Structure 1
Amino acid sequence: MVSFFRRFADDVRRRRYLDAYAAGFVAFAMAAVTIFVDTLGDELRWAAALAGIGITVLRLTSPENRAAATRGASVGDRSVFDDNPLAERLKTAREVCVFAPSAVNVLSEQYSETLRRDVLGRRQGRVRVIVLDPAERAAVSLAVRQLDESLDYQRSDLRADLGSVVEELRRMSEWDVEGNFEFGFLPYNPGFSLLALNPNSSDGVVLVELHGFHNESTAKRMHVEFTRGSDPYWYEYWCHQFERMWSRSRVPRTEAEDVEVTEEPRP
């Protein structure tokens, strides 16, 4: 029972399944009243029953539940973006959360412009980005071994990419936009990259890239896509992973200070 109330409180906070809860509470209330008072009309009883059945059918046939019934989490390499391009997803996103050692692919000129115009152009828009802490030299060196030197066909340089991305993040933080943009630094690479779109909404999507030990190229790394309908447990797990990283990421200070400063967790 305690777990139910916790789940109920979380769903209400996230504004999920409110119609189903409302119908359920009405049905239970009518059942309780019927035990003690047998004065409820048949019309009212049938109305409550049919409302509950109707909401159940709508829930079962909703797009997210159909997706869950026909497939689980989507697995593939970076080509999974071909059928549903990231640029198109970003256009309708209200909240974007990113973690990657350099995030150079997500913060390309095309995507940055989409973030500025379509996400941060909204008053409720929010973008949070976490990258590897450039002041953590040992962690950066290890990430170079993990991500650059373990590729058969290396096409980028993590150190150079991280430096250019940090400069880009600072410029983005100075944009005059309606939405809210923040970024932070993580002290080490946890072995994956993560992109969450609308993580607190029913239409949210989480994309996870597993770095692995060795790959032919960056594009060949394993990618897994989760939705709340396809796999609620792992969807919430990866959303919580980002929030944990965000709480431990260092708040950026001035460019000169970043050369010497170490980790300063968020308050």
Structure 2
Amino acid sequence: MKHETTDLQKVPKNQYIFMRASQFVLYVTKYELAGKATMDQGVAESIAAVATVVLWLYSLNGLLVGWIAKYYRDGLKPSFPLVGKPKWSDLLMLVAVWSLSSMTLATLTALSGELKTPVPGVRLAAEELSAQMLFGVALEEIERMGIYELFRGTFWAAVWLNSAWFGFTHLASYADLMAQFPGFVLMMPFGTAAFGLASLAITLRVGLFWAIGVHFLVNSFPLVVIHELIVVNYLIFIFSTAGLFTIGIINLRR
């Protein structure tokens, strides 16, 4: 029996993916505007509880197991630079990761309802600088590289599993947001996994201190891009997240 292809299947792959993503965005927007997008609170709390366990496992392996395994394998000298001298292309990458990560975070907080009264526009939002914030992001970057060292030699685990694991941990404290905005269950891990991949690329290319610096700026001095139309915010999220994945993949292949 002859198989007939649809018009969509004849479209080039990159255009086909974009069309499907656009259809998904329009569907989710219509669904949300209809007021139907809710999740049972108990289910949301269960997901958050699982994410909390996953978070502790990530921290335990990233801070302890990964570095112990590295010590017995080849000593404590890291397989990545601590601080390197960036080229102009590296500086552009740092700025791109900061801006795209900020856009991902801003649109997600606006869409999820975490930001109660989002103000449309493009602006820099300076948060309160704190040593606690710097310590927190430094700890996360050290954990990421601990997981990388634990699985070094197995690319998919050191890079992809590492990023996905990091992404899922960010659901640990957001049961209420998941209940009121179910899309958060997918969008938060996806966005943070994209950032984790790009941050890993920064560390391997120019050093751990640069990755910590970019991570700190994303949390403390973000570029906020929010549109008054919900569908545009979804598209901004898709664009910024795809950009982070692209940066990570290109640089990790070098």
TM over 0.5: no
Which one scores higher on RCO, CA 8 angstroms, separation ≥ 6? 2
Calculate the TM-score normalised by the size of structure 2: 0.30
Kindly name which structure, 1 or 2, has the bigger radius of gyration based on alpha carbons: 1
Which structure has the highest strand share of the two? Answer: 1
